Amino acid sequence: MLSRLSLGRAHALATTIAQQVQRAGLPVSALVPLGSLRRYAPEIGDVALLAVAQPDAHAEILDGLGQLTPATSVLRRAETSIALSSDKGPLVIHLSAPHDAGAALLWHTGSRRHTSAVRARARARGYEFADGRLHRNGTSIDTPTEDAIYQRLDLPYIPPELREDGSELDAVDRNGLPQLVAVPHIRGDLHAHTSWSDGRDTTARMVQAARELGYSYFAITDHSERAWASRTLAATDVPKQRAEINAVRAQVPGIDVLHGVEVDILHDGSLDFSDDVLAGFDIVLASLHDDGGHDGARLTERYLNAMRHPLVNVITHPANRSPGARAGYDLDFDRLFDVAVETGTAMEVDGAPGHLDMDGAIARRAAERGVAIVIDSDCHRAEALGRQMEFGVGTARRGWVEPRHVLNTKSADEVREFVARKRGRR
């Protein structure tokens, strides 16, 4: 069985290839991710890309793609595609003429069930949609964009993250599609780590990177002292960290810096820091990293205890899954959702490639139940802040999550009010 790439590794490979294509000067007008990578699936098989170029340049481009680097070898080559093996993983690049680019993008993005549903709809309207082209009565139909082919089929544009089982076409006919959350909706990141725990960069560097992304607020949330992390924040160091954050607030204007913490939920359901320590933070995230050998029912109870704590505001990456390596905890999510709503506790979609948790299906259930969702990067390096937020947003979009469902599409004042409402119940 072929190993699959994490979303992070697949994204890195696609980015590297795009850079190499640009440096090689190949006559490509666009190079776009395809397949499960474009749909933000947590695991990727072949990394697929679409190169848009004039047909008379296709042979030159295929030659150039076969010689990108010494570490890349050609597995197979056809008239409009090439499969490569690289030291970072398998890669397939499809070629399309500009007038067919929309149909090719739709065809190769998938999923297969979505494409099959589109093909059936096309046939019902007198078209044939096959092999990345749209035809009618033997004549090729220009489809320079995906909008063009969807319009031909009396459909709105369907975001790639929703193209999974074909039911999205039925949803269009019933009620229409939701306005999905997007990266520009995100006004702040509420989960990030610094060198106070297992992050690589300083507080100042992380805050500067957040400001450069245009965030209006940013939370520093290092691990509490008994967390399963390579470095953790001791309770005795919290005042020193707070003093540093106060200094950074003065050094980096234009962004509201929240002093938060990611506190571990211990085996008995208690929290790793005392209430006196937790009360000094602007926001408290609670995580369960160590299952302690407990079954799903016991793990669910540990989460419920944390949710009922008036100082806990967000439950992070609840399943504690790792795509391709660990399925995560077998939790009673319906109970978690009920208590999250009851207590005013948010639940997180975590954009770290090692989590992507809550996954799309669970996030959709959470939104439907009225749970406040946060989308965070859980980032440990300044350079990855934007990328991991993109992964988090992509994962939430797979769950049909809208901006109205997401706490951190709101202002810093509203986030603080969210925290204050729960603390007011103490």
> pLDDT per residue over 247-263, tens digit each?
999 999 999 999 999 99
| Residue 297 reports pLDDT greater than 90 | yes
The mean per-residue pLDDT over the stretch 359-373 comes to: 98
What value does the mean pLDDT of the chain take? Answer: 95
Same domain, 63 and 120: no
Into how many domains does the chain fold? 3
Residues 125 and 86 placed together within one structural domain of the fold: no
Over residues 48-70, the mean pLDDT reads: 95
> Do residues 258 and 194 both lie within one domain?
yes
- For residues 27 and 122, membership in a common domain is answered with no
Asked if residue 35 and residue 13 are part of one domain, the reply reads: yes
pLDDT beyond 60 at 426 = no
> The domain that contains 110 carries what CATH number?
3.30.210.10
Statement to judge: residues 91 and 107 lie in one domain:
no
| Predicted structure pTM score | 0.96
Mean pLDDT check: name the lowest of 133-142, 167-176, 203-212, 335-344: 167-176
Domain CATH code at residue 87 = 3.30.460.10
Please write the tens of the pLDDT for every residue from 338-354.
999 999 999 999 999 99
In this prediction, residue 46 carries a pLDDT of: 86
pLDDT at 2: 52
Here the CATH number for the domain that contains residue 367 is: 3.20.20.140
Choose the final residue of a domain: 81, 96, 111: 96
What pLDDT sits at residue 226? 86
What pLDDT, on the 0 to 100 scale, is given for residue 346? 98
Are 236 and 355 contained in the same domain?
A: yes
Whether residue 111 sits in one domain with residue 87: no
Share of the chain above pLDDT 70, in %: 99
Q: What is the mean pLDDT of residues 112-125?
A: 96
**How much is the pLDDT for 1?**
38
Q: What is the pLDDT of residue 323?
A: 92
**Amino acid present at 4:** R
- Residues spanned by the domain of 29: 5-96
Cα 398 off chain centre by: 9
Last residue of a domain, one of 77, 96, 115: 96
The domain boundary residue, chosen from 55, 74, 96? 96
